[in-house]
Amino acid sequence: MTVDWSSQLLSGQPNAGAATVLFWSPSTCTGSVYLGCAGTVDLNFAQGIEVLFDGITLPLFVLGANGTARQTFSVPNSWTPGILSLQGLILQPPGGCAWGFTLTAAFDL
- Distance separating alpha carbons of residues 92 and 89, to the nearest angstrom: 10
Distances (CA, A) of 94 to 58, 67, 71, 100, 101: 21, 16, 26, 7, 10
- Position 82 scores a pLDDT of 65
- Position 58 scores a pLDDT of 84
- Position 107 scores a pLDDT of 85
Please give the residue range of the domain that contains residue 102.
2-108
Q: For Cα atoms 43, 44, 49, give the angle at the middle one, nearest 5 degrees.
A: 75
- Position 78 scores a pLDDT of 64
- Position 106 scores a pLDDT of 87
pLDDT tens for the chain, residues 1 to 109: 888 889 988 788 899 999 999 998 888 887 788 999 999 999 988 888 889 888 888 877 899 999 999 988 887 776 666 678 889 999 998 888 899 999 998 888 7
Per the structure, the count of domains in the chain is 1
Let me know how long the chain is: 109
- Position 81 scores a pLDDT of 64
